[in-house]
Structure 1
Amino acid sequence: MVGALIIALGILSAGWLLLKALSRGQTADFTAIRLALARYLALALEFQLGADILSTAISPTWEQLGKLGAIAIIRTALNYFLSREMRDERGQTSAEKPVVERAD
């Protein structure tokens, strides 16, 4: 349930950022909004995996352990690629910003 709440919060937050960007006419780049939503999704994946581990730890069967292993692999892979994309986007965004030197 916590994971679902985090996703809902992320959607609301990204929606708010999107509305602000649209109202200002900033429709060229939505990278910051995508990164904000991605952070919430990554956090939700961690909570979901933790919940699955706890539910299996209570009364595990071989079938449940197999399902947990598959879910853990899938969610870990999703989180890895999501984190990698966020890192790449941050690097690309910071590389695109012009460096302004101050004259002291």
Structure 2
Amino acid sequence: MNAFFTLLAQAESLRLPAPTTAFARTEDTVVAAVQWLKLGVELVGAVIIALGIITAGGLLVKALAARRTADFTSIRLVLARYLALALEFQLGADILSTAIAPSWEQIGKLGAIAVIRTALNFFLSKEMQEERKQSGDEQNVVERGMKE
């Protein structure tokens, strides 16, 4: 019996971390990693928006300089494609946020944002389809803009 108490005393002296402490550290690491990933995905979305604005802005300047106002619809389609792609990335970032949201209130807010972004993307896609039918593909504008 004395050997048992000796082993018990030795085990207690090791002071292994409690399972909850190890879990908390792992959870903190996962939360931090997801937050960084979310930030990266949001950054990609923002860069796509910036590229779309620069591209559409350049095409707009060229169209105005050449007095081709008929190209405006096609230029809108170029910008709309960039915005639709960026919205997909922003929605992905929202989904990542729900994985680490600590409260139902936060999950509710993220859900509302996701619904709004999904609706925006849906209506943007519908508008793009309708404008494509009316004006043809915007590639013609891009190609003309690059040749001039």
TM-score range, shorter chain: 0.7 to 0.9
Residue deviations 1:43-72, cap 9 Å, x none?
111111111111221244201210121111
Determine the structure 1 residue equivalent to 2:91. 49
Give the TM-score taking structure 2 as reference length: 0.60
Determine the structure 2 residue equivalent to 1:86. 128
Q: Which residue of 105, 120, 131 maps to 1:63?
A: 105
The structure in which a higher percent of residues are helix is 2
Structure 1, gaps ≥5 residues long? 95-104
Give the TM-score taking structure 1 as reference length: 0.83
The percent identity for this pair of structures is 76
Deviation at 1:75, TM superposition (A): 0.6
Over the aligned positions, Cα root-mean-square deviation in angstroms equals 1.3
What is the aligned residue count?
94
Work out whether 1:22 is the aligned partner of 2:72: no
1:82 alignment partner AA = L
Structure 2, gaps ≥5 residues long? 1-42, 137-148
Which stretches of structure 1, 4 residues or more, deviate above 6 A after TM superposition?
none
